[in-house]
Amino acid sequence: MSVTDPIADMLTRMRNAVLMRKREVQMPASKLRTEIARILREEGFIRNYKVIKDGPQGVLAVSLKYTEGNQSVLAGARRVSKPGCRVYCTRDTIPKVYDGLGVAVISTSQGVLSGARCEELGLGGEVLCTVW
């Protein structure tokens, strides 16, 4: 099965795993998915991630994060820029997600960064997704 939008597939797998109260979710690995997982770990939305070498592509295993009351830290995730309609932002128009409680993941000329990091560096780029 071929996935036309791997980022949307990643976010959907994570949302579905949260609904089922899973502790870990696996998906085919890619550099972009790994970078998004790195940002989600840095921002505190997931516990950890690892790339398992399995065949030519490998598997990305994401450990989801829950609070003491078994509530997921990852409340929601939305794909912003889609293959059919790309969405870009300048350094002045970086989206604020839930007044700073969430994070925007942006693909820039210096790699995949969080919205806050883009503001620090004064960079714009393609808004890949938002997570809250």
Rounded to the nearest integer, the mean pLDDT of the chain is: 95
- Domains of the chain, each with CATH number or no CATH: 6-64 (3.30.1370.30), 77-131 (3.30.1490.10)
Structure token pair of residue 22: 């899973």
Structure token pair of residue 23: 């502790």
Instruction: For 10-51, write each residue's pLDDT tens digit.
Output: 999 999 999 999 999 999 999 999 999 999 999 999 999 999
Instruction: For 80-125, write each residue's pLDDT tens digit.
Output: 999 999 999 999 999 999 998 999 999 999 999 999 999 999 999 9
